[in-house]
Amino acid sequence: MSKDLSKILEGWDYQPDDVTVRLIDGDDGTKKVQLRLDLGVLQMEMDGRPDRQTPGDCPSWLDYYEQKQQAHDAAGPDSAAFELKEEDCLRLWHEGVQYYHRYLSFWHLKIYDLCARDTARNLRLFAFVGAHTDNDRHRLQFDQWRPYVTMMNVRAVATPLIDEARYDEALRVIESGIEAIRSFLDEYDQTDSEGGRGELAGLERWHVEVLAEKAGAADARPKPPEAVLREKLQEAIDAEEFEQAAQLRDEIRRIKAEGKGKETDEGT
């Protein structure tokens, strides 16, 4: 079998200004994610580590080091704190980049639940490294991406909620993301700098847009029959069409009487 990628990439051109991604059926019967690059393609698994590896018989290096840290703490609660070495941080960084490529692909494929899963996973990675290294350079290498990944996670979680018109839930998710990025900026004393400001401004604009969409959806809801009749009644009175106004009053009374009748039936 030829190892030349030309056939695989034929008719699937790289777009430098866009993310070019697709789902394919793998030879093992499972779906795979393919991300087009300028010189080839990245192929990733849908679940587990994107490259299908299980380092240390664990789902990922992050899981491996989390288990190692838990075992260390359990074995010697009074001993020195668990600390990641430079080699450990390098492994975790390369693995985090794999998850970045995959969640970006999921976002462009509109597979929002898996994008939310992978962004949450990388946020967990940043927190773990931050808690278990004394090297500020290593900590910042990961944590500098927290505003961006927070923003992506919020968008992945809130977008399907908005699609389902669950605006209050979506707004709570967006507000939580805004607060998380503000906390990051305060933590690093960057409230007046550019780092993280773009993601914060983007979520704040989206919050306003969702509020407007929620208000528009409420205005678009069909009005109750009685409310429609009352508007017509006022129009008839303004136009001095008193006979029509009387008919409308009778219709309003009938609807109100039916409503009271239903309440009585439900009470029994």
pLDDT the model gives residue 256 = 77
| Interval 146-166 mean pLDDT | 97
pLDDT the model gives residue 6 = 87
pLDDT the model gives residue 221 = 62
Task: Please choose, from the candidates 64, 32, 38, 67, the residue with its C-alpha nearest in 3D space to the C-alpha of residue 51.
Answer: 32
- For the ranges 28-32, 43-47, 75-79, 218-222, the lowest mean pLDDT is seen at 218-222
H or E element in which residue 22 lies:
strand 21-25
| Interval 190-209 mean pLDDT | 83
pTM recorded for the entire structure: 0.79
pLDDT the model gives residue 263 = 52
**H-state helical runs in the chain:** 6-9, 61-75, 86-108, 112-131, 136-143, 146-163, 167-187, 197-220, 225-238, 242-267
Q: Quick check: 143 and 126 in contact, CB under 8 A?
A: yes
Place of tokens 């990961």: 142
- For the ranges 17-21, 177-181, 244-248, 254-258, the lowest mean pLDDT is seen at 254-258
- On the question of pLDDT at 59 being above 90, the answer is yes
- On the question of pLDDT at 22 being above 90, the answer is yes
pLDDT the model gives residue 179 = 96
How far is 189 from 192, CA to CA, in rounded Å? 8
Question: At residue 142, what is the residue type?
Answer: F
Q: Which residue has the higher pLDDT, 132 or 79?
A: 132
DSSP for 116-163 reads HHHHHHHHHHHHHHHHS---HHHHHHHHTTHHHHHHHHHHHHHHHHHH
What's the mean pLDDT when you consider all of the chain? 90
